Structure 1
């Protein structure tokens, strides 16, 4: 990795210079204010980039060509190494951490709880040189306020009829969540809505029977569909219903066949738009987040339903998912009881869980 320093009147502008040159795939080494010859404060942001990218953007694409002779290549390497050494010397002389001791400690605490470094850096850089960075309690409060501002909620709207399709990885609780939603819409709101259930899961053993069992108890229409054509016909038959809830097969993010099949259903030509809700477990692992979003985002997600709140006390990774991927939350599933363990999503509820986890840290 090669370090490069960007200087501007404020840290945000310096960071934007780095992004303009290298893109967002950069790592911040340090960000601080220093005095220059004119005795005015300047903001310095030091970033680290892969050596090949540094050579290409600094010396042109020819710096990466195999035709470069050994003497030229050696010179380029020496220049890069010298620049790295100078930046390391500067960091040693300036004596401070990336953001200062207090802010670095707060940042480390949030990262330990699952919040991505790149999101934290985007919030902290504009604060360099302000009193907030020297007060741990104030900085924690500021970060929590930024989290609150960033989180999005999809309000429950029953003004018009809708089709809601639930998708998600295997084992996140889609079928149980469908049953909770059906009970809510049919019995628990200001008036009883006419609800129908459609099952598209022909893969999981017992999936059809499980949803049919819930439907029988609630006296709600239930249908099992195997093809996109049959799905289109059934949607047309159910045009008079207020809510149609669609259960899909649980999918590994790597199961191409099931994804293609689900896309066929989502893109079916029907009069109404299908609201696609990703069911995501509160227990999601950091390593799986990117794969889940990368694959399921092709279904044009409208919201996220978070399940399994009762199976963890650590919500940082889930919070990180919601911050990075800019998706609104619609419902929280907090247990196995139908229909009791279902809440309309709220920022306050998720923040309460996360704040408790941060304070424990």
Structure 2
């Protein structure tokens, strides 16, 4: 794949340039707003396309002779690199003493079975070469748990200045319910009551406005809905006196590029106060979906993750693995359906307790 960047006054126009050149099959990598030397803000959208398509659209058809030669060289190089990786892997295995191998492999398989990625475990185990820890299963498990604890990050809860919190994420993860819980927490359950407003961008989902409006009526909070970037800016201006503005967005598939681009436009709106973007995803996330969720939402400049549906699983290894691989700070856990009770500030200890309980069962 080859990456190419398109520049326009807004993300949508830049993305349309990419589609015009390569068609609908382009893969979105990133979208960001940059101030150029002339002082103007412009949007840059980076996409990935197959190398052959890039060469054809950029340079026209290439003679088959030269192309075949370059392709042969490339395939040879890739084969050599693959063999080198294989040899390095074998060397790493050989470095383990025979009497330690059964202990290491047993512990490694246990953690992998519970959802922790081999690549993360290999990095940690490689740093222990020659250590007596490798020969003691109990010590090795304890060491790995300590490394997990050190690697996890928590986004501290702060309300010392007015801010906007926008929740984004896949369809069906519970963004609207999480917003209701946050609204109740900030307005009624903190050391002092904060002035909270709800703003809805979810015009795609039937009933989304009514659901948020229902929560707003119960809690006697201001609630408005908008459908355009201009309306978003106007809505924020109308709510400028509020301490916290909670923004609900459309749930979307990680593959729905058009909705993602639309959300980028909202995120990059020129606003006078801090905007925090939180990715909401479920504790039941599948290992196969992790990369897609992260890669397709990360270009929204995620500040933290809120994890929902803790009550719907007893297996937390894949969730833990997500946090380890992508190093995103956690902010809140949603532990049930009750508003506002089933919400807690994210805690490394709580997540590890759930994971250790799963390990103990094994």
- TM-score, scaled relative to structure 2: 0.75
2:167 counterpart residue number: 166
Q: Deviations over 1:328-359 (max 9, x none)?
A: 00000000000000000010000000010111
After TM superposition, the structure 1 = structure 2 runs for residues 1-361 of structure 1, keeping only pairs within 5 Å, are 66-67=68-69, 100-361=101-362
Task: Please give the alpha-carbon distance, in whole angstroms, between the structure 1 residues aligned to 2:341 and 2:109.
Answer: 38
Task: Please give the alpha-carbon distance, in whole angstroms, between the structure 2 residues aligned to 1:85 and 1:176.
Answer: 48
Asked if 2 retains the 8 angstrom alpha-carbon contact of 1:102 and 1:136, the reply is: yes
Sort the Cα spacing of 1:333 and 1:146 in 2 relative to 1 into closer, same or farther, 3 A: same
Q: Deviations over 1:153-180 (max 9, x none)?
A: 0010011111000000000000000000
Asked if 1 retains the 8 angstrom alpha-carbon contact of 2:171 and 2:252, the reply is: yes
Asked if 2 retains the 8 angstrom alpha-carbon contact of 1:332 and 1:342, the reply is: yes
Task: Please give the alpha-carbon distance, in whole angstroms, between the structure 2 residues aligned to 1:249 and 1:82.
Answer: 46
Task: Please give the alpha-carbon distance, in whole angstroms, between the structure 2 residues aligned to 1:349 and 1:92.
Answer: 34
Task: Please give the alpha-carbon distance, in whole angstroms, between the structure 2 residues aligned to 1:160 and 1:84.
Answer: 50
1:42 counterpart residue number: none
Asked if 2 retains the 8 angstrom alpha-carbon contact of 1:98 and 1:104, the reply is: no
Runs of 4+ in 1 over 2 A off after TM superposition: 64-68, 78-99
Sort the Cα spacing of 1:336 and 1:95 in 2 relative to 1 into closer, same or farther, 3 A: closer
Following TM superposition, by how much is the alpha carbon of 1:273 offset from its aligned partner in structure 2, in angstroms?
A: 2.5
Task: Please give the alpha-carbon distance, in whole angstroms, between the structure 2 residues aligned to 1:166 and 1:89.
Answer: 45
Asked if 2 retains the 8 angstrom alpha-carbon contact of 1:164 and 1:275, the reply is: yes
- TM-score, scaled relative to structure 1: 0.75
Query: Unaligned 5+ residue runs, structure 2?
Result: 1-65
Structure with greater contact order relative to length (CA < 8 Å, sep ≥ 6): 2
Sort the Cα spacing of 1:203 and 1:134 in 2 relative to 1 into closer, same or farther, 3 A: same
Task: Please give the alpha-carbon distance, in whole angstroms, between the structure 1 residues aligned to 2:241 and 2:293.
Answer: 34
Task: Please give the alpha-carbon distance, in whole angstroms, between the structure 2 residues aligned to 1:254 and 1:133.
Answer: 42
Q: Deviations over 1:245-298 (max 9, x none)?
A: 000000100001110111111000111131000001000000000000000001
CA RMSD of aligned residues (A): 3.2
Sort the Cα spacing of 1:97 and 1:234 in 2 relative to 1 into closer, same or farther, 3 A: farther
Sort the Cα spacing of 1:126 and 1:88 in 2 relative to 1 into closer, same or farther, 3 A: closer
Task: Please give the alpha-carbon distance, in whole angstroms, between the structure 2 residues aligned to 1:255 and 1:228.
Answer: 19
Q: Deviations over 1:288-318 (max 9, x none)?
A: 0000000000100000000000000000000
Sort the Cα spacing of 1:120 and 1:94 in 2 relative to 1 into closer, same or farther, 3 A: closer
- Between Structure 1 and Structure 2, whose CA radius of gyration is higher? 1
Asked if 1 retains the 8 angstrom alpha-carbon contact of 2:92 and 2:126, the reply is: no
Sort the Cα spacing of 1:97 and 1:339 in 2 relative to 1 into closer, same or farther, 3 A: farther
Sort the Cα spacing of 1:304 and 1:99 in 2 relative to 1 into closer, same or farther, 3 A: farther
Sort the Cα spacing of 1:117 and 1:308 in 2 relative to 1 into closer, same or farther, 3 A: same
Task: Please give the alpha-carbon distance, in whole angstroms, between the structure 2 residues aligned to 1:283 and 1:165.
Answer: 22
Sort the Cα spacing of 1:253 and 1:87 in 2 relative to 1 into closer, same or farther, 3 A: closer
Query: Unaligned 5+ residue runs, structure 1?
Result: 1-63
Q: Deviations over 1:169-208 (max 9, x none)?
A: 0000000000000000000001110000000001111111
Asked if 1 retains the 8 angstrom alpha-carbon contact of 2:165 and 2:246, the reply is: yes
Asked if 2 retains the 8 angstrom alpha-carbon contact of 1:179 and 1:211, the reply is: yes
